[in-house]
Amino acid sequence: MNMQVEELKKRIGEASRICVFTGAGISTESGIPDFRSQNGLYRKNLEFSDVISTSFYQNNPVLFWELFKEIFRVKLLDEYEPNSGHYFIAELEEEKTVHVITQNIDGLHQKAGSTNVYEIHGTIKRAHCQKCGSEFGLNFLTKVELPSCTSCEEALKPNVVLFGDSIHWFEEAVEAALQSDLFIVMGSSLQVTPINQIPLLVRKHGQVPMVIINKEPTYYDYVFDNQIHLPIGEVVTALKSGK
C-alpha cells in the first residue's frame, strides 16, 4: 500500500489540472455520519427515498421538514469542521488548477478553502421559495419548525437535490473531469447514479490517470489505475510526509 501512496504522490506532483470526486467518506472523518446508513431515523414506515423526495415535500411539508432536519442534523451542521482531507484538496489550489465534484451537501470543501466546487446534490445550507425565488440561510432554517418565505408564506424547499429532482452541474462536472490530467475519487462507493458514470466517462474518453481512495473496495475499482483502501486521513498524512 505504501507503493500505491507513493505513486499517487508522484502523479499529484506531475499534474497541473486535478479533478477530485468526493463522497460521504471524506466527511465522515469530520463526524458527519453517512445518512444512508441511519435506518433508525425513519418513522411511520417511511424509507429514505420516501422522505427525501419532492412529492413528500409537496404533500406534507411540515413532516418533511421535521424528518429532513432529523436526518441531516441541520441544527448541528455549523459545528462540523473540515478535516485533513478537505484541507489537502484546498491546499492543492496553491500550485494547481483543482476542480472538486462532490456528492456531499455539507459545504465543508468551501469552508476548507476550495473555490471550484460542483455540488452535484446541492447544499443543505440554504433553502428557497418556489414562488418568488427568495433564498434563506441556515440560521433562518433552524429557528422555526416549518421554514416559510417571509414574503409569500410558502413552505421553503431546501437547496438539496431531492428524489424526483435533477442533479446540478452534471455537464460542467463531466467537462472538468475530462479536461483534468489526474482524476481522484475520495470517499465514495460510487453507488449513486448518474454521477457514478463520471469515472466511466473519464476512462472511456481519455488517458487520464485515475485513482480511488476508499476504505472499502467498490464495484468500479477496475476502472482505476490505482486503488487505495485506507482512511482518507491516513492517506493524506502519508502524502504530506517527507515534504
Residues known to be catalytic:
121
Contacts of 104 (CB under 8 A, 6+ apart): 22, 23, 24, 26, 27, 119, 121
C-alpha grid cell, residue 122: 446541492
In angstroms, how far is CA 13 from the centroid of its own chain? 25
129 is in an annotated binding site: yes
Contact 147, 136 (CB under 8 A): yes
Phi-psi region at 28: left, alpha or beta (left = phi > 0; alpha = psi -120 to 50): alpha
DSSP reduced 3-state for 18: strand
132 is in an annotated binding site: yes
Cα of first residue to Cα of last residue in the chain, in angstroms, is 19
19 is in an annotated binding site: no
For helices 170-178 and 198-205, give the axis angle rounded to 10 degrees: 40
Owner of C-alpha cell 421538514: 65
The annotation places the binding site for Zn(2+) at 129, 132, 149, 152
User: Binding-site residues, please?
Assistant: 129, 132, 149, 152
